[in-house]
Structure 1
Amino acid sequence: NDDGADLVETSYLMAGLLTARQYFNGADADETALRNDINELWNAVEWDWFRNGGQNVLYWHYSDAKQWIMNLPVQGWNECLITYILAVSSTTHSIPQSVYTNGWASGSSFLNGNAYYGYQLPLGPPLGGPLFFSHYSFLGINPNGLSDAYANYTTHTTNHSLINYEYCKANPRGRYGYGDSCWGLTASDIPGGYTASSPTNDIGVIAPTAAISSLPYTPAESMKALKFFYYVLGDKIWKEYGFVDAFSLHDLWFANSFLAIDQGPQIVMIENYRSGLLWNLFMSCPEVKAGMKSLGFSAPGL
């Protein structure tokens, strides 16, 4: 049903390509050609077409055979902030601010404002949802010092991670192994399938990507988890491609899979914690600066 296009996955690809474009800034023929190829791809994305007839919201999926049959609007708070920022930032197929305001920011799960474990959560579902909500868009978008009419994104990403950590530490469902060294609920493989684990969907499975990709937000808590995963669990979960996707000490289950969308954020966020490299590159894109300003975002250097 989505064999034609997936706009959100396209936005992750484009964020990575724009980041690479900013890095390969040499004047030689190879780097010049690479930048030109990236710009050709970037400029060809028809963000505005995904308004599905000019509606004030973007739609996630399209099928050549079945058109808009999945009918899933991209709205509320989830992993898709990057999709709207790139759609607004496009110089060839952009969307107006009204689509962001009336589409993305209007969903029933967008604003939160409640406190959990003493941490206020500006956006998103109760207890924050799976941690990838604070990872995927923010591989390139730097939340440090970033704010708009809806949230301070330093507060949001940090508190979302801390709520997830405190939930696992409190362990209200009595999952064996949970604690201050073993935490992190997000989307991952599970025994016999796949789910988006969170404090409201806790089946006892920990995904290393959850705590490790939060390293820039919760360095002490994330590093403690990383060391537990590596030194204590060791070769039960550390394999040829890094940490396996997930594990359950409660059920004594260890995945034999590696998911790129879980491995990638670990690598990117470790580097963002170390140097801010990927944040600095993506946020240096002139189109992104202009797009974010037009939406009312403010941040140092924006």
Structure 2
Amino acid sequence: MLQRAQETDTVLIDRLQKAAFEYFLRHTNPENGLVADTSIKTSHCSIAAVGFALSSYPVAVERGWIERSEAAERVATSLRFFAESRQGEERRATGYRGFYYHFLDMKTGHRAWNSELSTIDSGLFIIGALGAAAYFTGESETETEIRDLTKLLYERCDWRWAMNKGLTMSMGWKPSSGFLRWRYQGYDEAVFLYLLAIASPTHPAPAESFDAFASTYTWMMAKDDPYLYAGPLFIHLFSHAWIDFRGINDKHMADKGTDYFRNTQVAIDVQRDYADRNPGHFVGYGRNVWGLTACDGPIPTVHRRHSSNSRPKVLGYAARGAPLGPDDGTIAPWAPLACLPFDKQAAIEGTRAILDAYPNLLLDGRFPGGFNPTIAGKGPEGWVDDRSVAIDQGLLVMMIENERTGLLWNLMRKSPILRTGLKKAGFTGGWLDDEPTIA
């Protein structure tokens, strides 16, 4: 413990970033490239996890954690599987109309459970592939195949169908019951999804769909700043993993005198202020111990530490948020570090505060999905999720690298698809007005 207490910030970040990437080495099926949703042995594949893995491989190559040829072959294996897998309504299908079921069997790739054909998770897979294709630009057979397969997979997505005759994107579809009744409206993680949809050269969503989406935003004031509200922190991070919003803007943000990057900085301040006020009187909260987002939590049968005779209201899996909730004392310990590009000091102070207060929190060197010190457990950590989550680990790999070198941001700035989507959505300014330099 003494050695780790003396770690510099750089060494600490190195250790956590590498451990996060190693999730994909440990929990990927090498035969088909499917990535387990969580670290438990019975976990199914999450297609979003595959997307985060694909864009994490370039980071690993640049960091020297894996040879370029091995990383390229791993990426190609995943893309080959999805390109060749069954598209249809039958039970053994992997996807339909270019989209994929949220969860897949790790061995067969068939639809798992009764999971929906998920537009957002399919989008995360696609943009993850685009990130990999933007990096693997060599002339080798494998790297050429990566680019060709990515093009095929993206152009196969039937975005018009996924709009379900509306101007906003349906959240998903099931063979037995059709489209889900929910759509991506209000500020959420789907910013990137609309950009991919309207840029499609084959089955595009109408360009006005982005305005239809953004017109449902909810605004509030945070101190003296206008704040595009979303309670869970992941909403303020996911699109930013691939898109550098610094210096570019759409009319919805420009009219408020802010931008998406600044809005995430405000979201971090809101989270820290909320944790410092701690209106729910939860154990452990403080200005440097924060991170309310979507994650697993204790089931509603456990007992709150130092509570009265009344049972605590715990939420299980929930999209926790600040300042309007919901909240049950569950913290996502990886969340502060994922905010590194937006507020380096807050990210490092938050990470150190959590690890100092709860030194036994990590699982195989990686952050668990969540923990709740208000709920009695084996140690001061209280309830701790018994698994790490793939998308959390991938987000860490990418966000840390974006702060350190800007790798994913710089790669995606050159993407014709992303640039087209941003321009059709009405974004202007900064790097978007410059002609990209193709390596």
TM-score, length-scaled by structure 1: 0.91
Residue 282 (structure 2) aligns with = 175
Report the identity percentage. Answer: 29
Deviation, 1:293, is 0.9
Partner of 2:401: 271
- Structure 2: 5+ residue stretches without partners: 1-112, 254-258, 300-315, 376-381, 433-439
- How does 1:186-225 map onto structure 2 within 5 Å? 186-192=293-299, 193-199=316-322, 200-225=325-350
Q: Which of the numbers 130, 149, 154 marks the counterpart of 1:37?
A: 149
Q: Tell me: CA distance 1:96–1:290, structure 2 relative to 1, closer, same or farther (3 Å).
A: same
- Secondary structure, counterpart of 1:190 in structure 2: coil
Are the aligned partners of 2:363 and 2:387 in contact in 1 as well (CA < 8 Å)? no
Cα offset for 1:207? 0.5
SS at match of 1:122: strand
Partner of 1:253: 383
Matched, 1:240 2:346: no
Counterpart AA for 1:97:
A
Hey, what does 1:60 align to over in structure 2? Answer: 171
**Are the equivalent residues in 2 in contact too, given 1:190–1:205 (CA < 8 A)?**
yes
Q: SS of the residue aligned with 2:296?
A: strand
2:291 aligned residue (156, 177, 184): 184
1:228 CA drift (Å): 2.2
Tell me the distance in 1 between the aligned counterparts of 2:364 and 2:429. 39
Structure 2 counterparts to residues 8-23 of structure 1, below 5 A: 8-23=120-135
Secondary structure in 2 matching 1:272: helix
Provide the rounded CA distance (Å) in 2 between the counterparts of 1:179 and 1:71. Answer: 38
Greater mean alpha carbon deviation, residues 40-49 or residues 226-235: 226-235
Q: Aligned partners of 1:74, 1:244: CA distance in 2, in Å?
A: 28
Cα distance, 1:181 vs structure 2: 2.2
**Superposed CA offset, 1:213-233 (max 9, x none):** 111112111101111233431
Q: 1:123 pairs with 224, 228, 246, which one? A: 228
Q: How far is 1:2 from its partner?
A: 6.7
Q: Secondary structure at the match of 1:19?
A: helix
* Residue of structure 2 equivalent to 1:73: 183
Q: Which SS does the other structure have where 1:35 is aligned? A: helix
**2:127 alignment partner, SS class:** helix
Q: Which amino acid letter does the alignment assign opposite residue 198 of structure 1?
A: G
Distance in 2, matches of 1:206 and 1:222, equals 14
* RMSD between aligned residues: 1.7
TM-aligned CA distance change 1:240 to 1:246, over 3 Å: same
How far does residue 26 in structure 1 lie from its aligned partner after superposition?
0.5
Question: What is the count of residue pairs matched by the alignment?
Answer: 291
2:207 counterpart letter in structure 1 = Q
Relative distance call for 1:34 and 1:278 in structure 2 (3 A) is same
Q: Deviations over 1:109-167 (max 9, x none)?
A: x130x322x2524323xxx3110111111111112222111111122111011111111
What is the CA distance between 1:257 and its match in structure 2?
1.6
| Secondary structure of the structure 2 residue equivalent to 1:301 | helix
The residue identity in structure 1 corresponding to 2:417 is E
Give me the whole-angstrom Cα distance separating, in 2, the residues matched to 1:241 and 1:61.
35
2:152 is aligned with 1:46: no
The answer to whether the 8 A contact 2:131-2:242 is kept is yes
Q: Aligned to 1:8, what secondary structure does the other structure show?
A: helix
2:242 is equivalent to residue 140 of structure 1: yes
Q: What is the rounded CA distance, in whole Å, between the counterparts of 2:176 and 2:297 in structure 1?
A: 32
The answer to whether the 8 Å contact 2:296/2:370 transfers is yes
For residue 198 of structure 1, report the CA deviation from its aligned partner. Answer: 1.0
Match of 2:422 in 1: 292
Q: Report if aligned partners of 1:207, 1:245 keep a CA contact under 8 Å in 2.
A: yes
**TM-score w.r.t. length of structure 2:** 0.64
Question: Looking at CA atoms only, which structure, 1 or 2, has the larger radius of gyration?
Answer: 2
Measure the CA separation in 2 of the matches of 1:241 and 1:213.
Answer: 16
Distance apart, 1:71 and its partner CA: 1.3
- Mind listing any 5+ residue stretches in structure 1 that lack a counterpart? none
Using the TM superposition, name which of 92-101 and 22-31 deviates more.
92-101
Deviates more, 1:206-215 or 1:40-49: 206-215
Contact 1:3/1:64 (8 A) holds in 2? no
